[in-house]
Structure formats: C-alpha cells, structure tokens
Structure 1
C-alpha cells in the first residue's frame, strides 16, 4: 500500500526541489510543462496555466523557510506533484504552518484545481492539518482523443504567506463521487497569478471542500452532450472504475439542446434513462441534476431560460426512474434573476460559464440539496462547514489582460473520423475559423445536416447573431428553443426561399438538401434587398463559385463535411475570415 510523507522546508524539500521522474516528487516548474494546448499543459500543472506576463516573476513566487515552503505573494500559486503507483483513492494530510507572518486568505487545491479549502487564516507561528480524499484515474484532455494515464497527485496553494510544511499521502478505500457532464461543471483550468473573478470554474470543482471523506472523480468535459460523453470515451473511464456504493451525478443539456436528435423528451431523456440503468446495474447511485441556467433574458415581461424544457425532462426521468433529482436549473435561474443586472455578471465569464465565484455558489446549492433531500449515500458522509464569504465583493474585479499567441482554434484537429476524407484541409480551416466544436472527437463527416442545426454554423460563417424573440411564424419551432433565434433572423434577413417551407412549417429536422444549402449561401452573398433568387439560380451559382460540389443533385441531402467545406469557401469569398465570431456563438472555455 502506498504511503509517503514529504517534509517541506529548509534542509528538506525546498522551493527549488523541482519534480523529476527519477524522484517522483517535487514542485512543478511552470516554465517547463509538456503539452500543445493550454488545456493539456494545465493537466501537468494542477489545473493552472502561468500567465505570459508573469514568466519573469516566477523566481519570486516561492520562498523556503524553516516552517515550510510559502508563497511569495498572495496571488502566486505553488504546485507540488507526487507520483503514485496506481489509480484509486488516496487520503492526503496537509500540514499548514505559519512562520513569522500570519497566513491570510489561503486556498488549497488538489488534482485539476479542485478546491479543498479556502479562507484559511492562521496567526504567526501556528499550524493546522487539513485532511481530504483525492482520486487518481485516466482523463482525456480537451481537444484530443488520447487518455492521459498519468498516476500523480497535484497539490496547489495560494494566498498571503500561504505555507505547507508536510504532505502525507496514503492509499485508501473511499466512496467515489463521479461527475458526468459539460463545461458548466468540468474541471476548468485557470491562469495565475490567480484572480477568482477572471477564472472560469465548473461547479463540481468546488465540491471537494465539503466532503473530506469522499473521493471526487470529475470526468465532465466542455462541449459534451449525452451522446458524445459516451462516444468520446469519457463514460468508459467511469464504467471501468466504478464500484458498488459509488455515486454518479449527471448534468447535461447545454449542448444537447443544440442537436436536433437530442430533443429534451427525445434523445436526451432516452440517454439519461440509459445512464441511470447502467449506473444501477453496478450497484452505484445515480443523481440527476438539471442544467444550470444561463444568464436569463427578458421576454413578454418575464425572465426566460432556453433550458427549461431540458430541466423538465430531468425531472420527468428522475420521477420515472425513482432517482434523486437536484433542480439546479430552477435554483440558479431564481438566483440570477434576484441578482439582476449588472450584478449577475460578477458570477460569470460569459452568459453561460461561471467564474470561480459562480461555481462556488452553485456547489453550495448542490450540497444543500443533498442534505435537504437526504440523498444517499452522500447525506450520511461528513460535511465540512464552509462559510459563504467567497463572493465577488471580497476581491478585485480588475483582472490583468493577457496576450496570447494563437487561440483556441489554432490547434491540431481533434476529430478521429475524418482521416483521409477529401475535405480534410478545409476541415482544418473550418476549425480555425471557429465553425467547428473543438471539444468533441467525432465530426460525423458523411452524416446529413438537419436544416435548423445547419443555421447555427451558417450564422457563424456569416458572422451574424440570431434574433429574439422568435415571433412564431412556423409552428414546428417553439419560441424558446435554441434554433428559433436563427430562424427568426433568417426571416428578417430574407434568407429563406419560400419554396423550401410552408406557411406554418420550417421543417427543422429534415435533412438539408443541396439546393436548400445553395440557397442559404447565395442569398447570404447579397444585400437583404437583393435576395429574392430562385432555388435553380442559387444552385447553379453555388456550384460555379465552388460552394457546392457538382456531383449533388438539387434534392440530394448534403453531407456535413461538404457543408463545412462550402462555408469555408463562402467566408473567403466574403473576405470575412478575420472577423470575430458573433456575440451569441457559445465558445467552450478551453485553449
């Protein structure tokens, strides 16, 4: 059984004792981190990335004293790494020891920036021990298909004179809480020097501070739907490790609502049923959680959320399967409305993704619901008392700007199903232009494209935003579904050929035909007053301009790869390749 004690301080492990494979322990040198993307690099730095502007200051971030290794300033982050022998649960004891200066506002993290404790205050020449459980398992980095099999524990800490004198790691058995979901609860990486206000956080990153005897394994990833979480291999990792008595929390919806085949009471609820069945089959406990609300918008004198239907589906499947249900959607929607403008933005990075303050707030709701509903077996586990003082008014909202070389889309293409296709080079370009989702592994290049789903990527290519409210011209679209804003914009911008719709039906789920595709693109090339162009003319013009391969019959369904390829060519034709994405294009916080 693995058991090691690491002594930190003068004459022992110092701030200059850097991690080496030969020794298997030490502080991580942020200037020598493997990985191609910020996301991958952060996995080798405990969920952190060093700000480019701070490279010159790294030497001042840590000091070795007789009492341990302490931070050189209150926003510096120190990361200690220790190799272990195998996957599984480990108990960690952290001895925090202050020297001549008191410790103020110390925060302790483990793994991929999972918050263990915050607001640690110690007077000079005193000590405190914090105990928790962490979990080591494979993890598939964002924007790649290859699992990271590293067997190591990362301990990171920050704060004013924050100091650790001893770390004890012991292999143990403990119940495991597995997390399955999307970017709103994943382990988000953050820049340091650390500013909570400007750090994207998933709410499951904040759970460990409450449960000192539970190991948390967060396999949630940005961009995930109930389909691709399974297809991309994340669910397999959970199934390989899960044991009777473990718990699995499921929260999806933000990305499902953008897929026509994952309607709330269609593919989405069916997938939740399957997950619940598989969890129960191994003797574990499923918990269904409705998706957190985005910052709501006002319509008809009421605040609205586009995720209400998926939240209702969560309630329905929980009732049907008799499993615990935490209605985060209602709890967060009510909170965001109560905060109002502009205060609600203090908890968000954008309209969807919370910062560390928002993530911490939502985690507190989850824990409160576990206790209120007596959700087994978590309700019987010890819960740390945690103060609610971690709010945006406790720290600066002025975050240093960060210049970066490259961006989220300047990366190796992640899709495992496009090797050798003739459109490959244009798929690389489509990714660079922000037309494709960088977080999923399957592009499905030969699949057809539903008409309404096409509009989201089409509007990215035109660099246009959708328009709300949807005024209901077509009865086969609802006012508050994801795609209706794009349909409303198409109506107002005269982008829809009347021969492709009826007076009451847009046909959102029908496969997009070559002629319909051509019509959208050619109309998009003209001013709004010049868009009354017939399908036949659009088809011929699209072929002539290279937007559409000439092997398609007008009524044939166009493949996704050819859709994306034509949109790349359209953007070059419109000279829009250097323009920013529209404001309503949700970007997953990866890089």
Structure 2
C-alpha cells in the first residue's frame, strides 16, 4: 500500500501471499473483510448493502494468491476506509479458487451496485475489471445523513475468488447522480444471497451497463416522490460538477390529489439548479407495476398505472428543448416495462404472475407486484441503456441525443441474466428454490 497527503492509493494482494481470509475490517487497520468472526453479523447493513442475522458468520478461505468463498451465496465483503465525498478509480482482479474449475462470479461495489452477474471466468484464468466510485454521504428520511467512510467490494458465486484490488484516489471525475423511490434506490439484501428474493433498485444495476469512467451515486430512498426527495437533493447538490448527469425517476408515490401535476411542477426545482452547475438532467419514465387487474390474458396486454407520469416527464423535456435548452433528455421505462411483461407472459404462460420471477418474493410471503428483485433491475437497467441508445441512433444531432451520448460514452457490452429454467420448472414464484421468510 502507498499513499500521500493529497491523493491516496492502495494496492492489495490476497491469499497466503497477501491479505489473508481472517483479516477482519477495523478502522485502525483501515481495511479488511466484513461479516467474518462470531460478531460479523452486527455489521451495519448500510456499509455494503448486505445484512446478516444473529449467529450467521461468513467463512472465507485462502489460496496461494487469492481469498475465496467457501459457500457461493456467502460473499467476500472487502472494505477500505476512505474520506467521505471522495472519488476513486478501482481495478479488481477476479479468479477461480480452484484453478481447474470454471468460476461464475457476481461483483458488487458500494451499496450493492451491480457490476457483474454470474460472469463466467474459465478455469485457470483471471478477469480484470475496472470502475469508478464516488463515495458520498447520503440523506435518509429515517436517520438523517449517513457518513459514508468505506469503499466496498463484494464478490460471490461458484468457485469465486478475489486476487487483487488496486484503488487510486482521483481529485475529481464524472458522476451519474440518482434520485428516485424504492424501485430506484440502493436496496439491501439478506444473506445467504438469493437474487430473486432481494429487493433491487434500477439505479443499483446501472454500473453493469455504463462506462467504467462514470461513477454512480444513488440518493434515492423508499417512499419518496418529487416533494419528499428535496432533502436528499439538498444533501449532495453542491457537489455536482460540470459535465455530471442526474437520473430522475419518480411516480409510484405520487398518490395525492393532483399527483401528476405536482410531479410536473416540482421538476424545475431540480432542473434549474442542475443546469446552473453545468450538469444535465435525464428524466426517466417510471417502471410499472404488474397487478392482476392490469393484465388481459386474451390479448396478452398490460395496462399502465403510471403512464401519466411518463407523459408528463416527456412533456417537460420537450418544452425545455423547444425553448432552446440542450441539457436535458427523456428516456422511457414505462412502456418498455409493460412490453417486457407481455414477453414474459408469452414465455411462461398468459398469467398475471408470469413477470413475478423478476419481482421480490419469498416463501411464506406474497408476491410483490411493485418492487423488482435483482434479476428484475438487471433487466430494467439494460432497457434504460438500450432505449437511450435508440434515442441516440434515431437522431444523433438532436439535443436529447447529445445528452445521452455523454451518458453512453464507453458503455459496456453486457446482457441481463434471465431466471434459470431450473427455477422456472419448479413452478410459479415463490417456489421451492426461494428461501423462507426470516
């Protein structure tokens, strides 16, 4: 490890020749693994987005040149102490614990920001993966401002091992700031990890598809709408830099009278400040629910419960563009979400539960008709990027396309992971593959 007074850097090697599997995180040491030891379950779930129950313990193992999982659903949770509101470039080297076997690895950073999902690493090979992070304090309506003093890397999966981590602090970098509700925010997940029983937010999955030089900083929270989100915006808005982008997706919680109009009328509060900082706003039409009353099996069609919010968001953007502004764009997720539900009903059967594999559920609980799981947000993030590309391809010289071109610079060529046929074969969710309620 090496660092200096102005800009810090770290270079970690793992295994018997480096940081060993029993290196528990401490503030004094400044790095180590979370969740190990008999008291590891006490770790604050806000650290890296994973929560444990009393009595649970993560057990890791050493190889000569890596630290590896002993169970595929109990992760390596590596943390490094950093200063709040600072920016870093990260390089992670992943490999298989057993060099004679393939590895299938899922990689998260920060509060469960998804980078890789079940990525195949052939036997005997390594995968070097790079990304940027912006470690930011976040505001919560429940607890106030949470001081984030950790850079987090989480690795799990079959034969998964972490070989090296390089971290370089940067004096600045480009950020996609996110504002949204429970379908967008950083959701936590229980261990052992099962992606279909976790809650997920679309913002968590965006890093998988966006370029390595664009950090994602998620300031959404469950229950928010465009009025109650203002304190979250206040918390970070002064740290927005010229060239940054802000992702803005709301609608689910505007249940008040004139909710659609309130949504529309509140957008300028955010937009005018964002543009004053030299940044750009991307308004996103909200993903829809999948309630039984929305579905017509005869025509295999889903009606929208949130179309008006999507239409109002588009209307606001088009008005700004007509006025000559070039720092705003619209991307719809409402219509694409309904189209996807139709595709799932064709694939799994014309039932209103067919999309439910991609929404939170757990044995002993009801199907969640609103909140996606990790597999769901993996797809929604992909749809967001693909629809942004469609706007760019349709008219590359349009003002909105130019905004989205900045978002898509260096975008990764990744695909969402479908729910496995083996799980679907067990029946409608939540089936026997799902964990039971805590």
TM-score range, shorter chain: 0.7 to 0.9
Judge conservation of contact 2:79–2:152 (CA < 8 Å) in 1: yes
C-alpha distance 88-394 of structure 1, shift in aligned 2 (>3 A): farther
- Cα offset for 1:86? 4.4
After superposition, what is the alpha-carbon deviation per residue over 1:395-449, rounded to whole angstroms, capped at 9, x for unaligned? 585122133xxxxxxxxxxxxxxxxxxxxxxxxxxxxxxxxxxxxxxxxxxxxxx
Choose the corresponding residue for 1:259, options 237, 252, 256: 256
Corresponding residue for 2:165?
A: 167
- Cα offset for 1:75? 1.3
2:236 paired with 1:238: yes
Matches within 5 A, 1:396-407: 398-403=433-438
Matches within 5 A, 1:117-516: 117-141=116-140, 143-145=142-144, 147-172=145-170, 173-211=172-210, 212-230=212-230, 233-256=231-254, 258-260=255-257, 263-264=259-260, 266-298=261-293, 303-322=302-321, 323-340=328-345, 341=351, 342-349=353-360, 350-374=368-392, 375=401, 376=403, 377-393=405-421, 398-403=433-438
Judge conservation of contact 1:142–1:222 (CA < 8 Å) in 2: no
Matches within 5 A, 1:23-34: 23-29=29-35, 32=39
TM-score in terms of structure 1 length? 0.62
Find the aligned partners of 1:372 and 1:295 in 2 and give their Cα distance: 25
C-alpha distance 259-32 of structure 1, shift in aligned 2 (>3 A): farther
Find the aligned partners of 2:174 and 2:305 in 1 and give their Cα distance: 35
2:64 paired with 1:69: no
- Cα offset for 1:41? 2.5
Judge conservation of contact 1:208–1:216 (CA < 8 Å) in 2: yes
After superposition, what is the alpha-carbon deviation per residue over 1:536-562, rounded to whole angstroms, capped at 9, x for unaligned? xxxxxxxxxxxxxxxxxxxxxxxxxxx
Q: Does 1 or 2 have the higher relative contact order (CA < 8 Å, sep 6+)?
A: 2
- Cα offset for 1:50? 2.0
More helix by share: 1
TM-score in terms of structure 2 length? 0.83
Corresponding residue for 1:110?
A: 109
2:36 paired with 1:41: no
- Cα offset for 1:303? 3.5
Find the aligned partners of 1:28 and 1:380 in 2 and give their Cα distance: 34
After superposition, what is the alpha-carbon deviation per residue over 1:534-591, rounded to whole angstroms, capped at 9, x for unaligned? xxxxxxxxxxxxxxxxxxxxxxxxxxxxxxxxxxxxxxxxxxxxxxxxxxxxxxxxxx
Choose the corresponding residue for 1:20, options 2, 26, 36: 26
Unaligned runs of 5+ in 2: 1-6, 322-327, 346-350, 361-367, 393-400, 425-430
C-alpha distance 104-51 of structure 1, shift in aligned 2 (>3 A): farther
Find the aligned partners of 2:189 and 2:162 in 1 and give their Cα distance: 22
- Cα offset for 1:117? 1.4
Find the aligned partners of 1:271 and 1:157 in 2 and give their Cα distance: 39
- Cα offset for 1:250? 0.5
- Cα offset for 1:392? 4.6
After superposition, what is the alpha-carbon deviation per residue over 1:97-129, rounded to whole angstroms, capped at 9, x for unaligned? 334342422101000000111232223332221
CA RMSD in angstroms comes to 2.2
Judge conservation of contact 1:197–1:392 (CA < 8 Å) in 2: no
Give structure 1 regions of 4+ aligned residues with deviation exceeding 6 angstroms.
none
Judge conservation of contact 2:41–2:52 (CA < 8 Å) in 1: no
Judge conservation of contact 1:296–1:336 (CA < 8 Å) in 2: no
Provide the secondary structure at the position in 2 that maps to 1:321. helix
C-alpha distance 343-241 of structure 1, shift in aligned 2 (>3 A): same
Find the aligned partners of 1:401 and 1:296 in 2 and give their Cα distance: 23
Find the aligned partners of 2:41 and 2:406 in 1 and give their Cα distance: 37
C-alpha distance 123-294 of structure 1, shift in aligned 2 (>3 A): same
C-alpha distance 125-242 of structure 1, shift in aligned 2 (>3 A): same
Corresponding residue for 2:397?
A: none
Unaligned runs of 5+ in 1: 404-591
After superposition, what is the alpha-carbon deviation per residue over 1:286-344, rounded to whole angstroms, capped at 9, x for unaligned? 01111111004447966422212222211211111223111111111222233232321
Corresponding residue for 1:489?
A: none
Q: How many residues align?
A: 388
Find the aligned partners of 1:300 and 1:177 in 2 and give their Cα distance: 35
Find the aligned partners of 1:66 and 1:379 in 2 and give their Cα distance: 40
More strand by share: 2
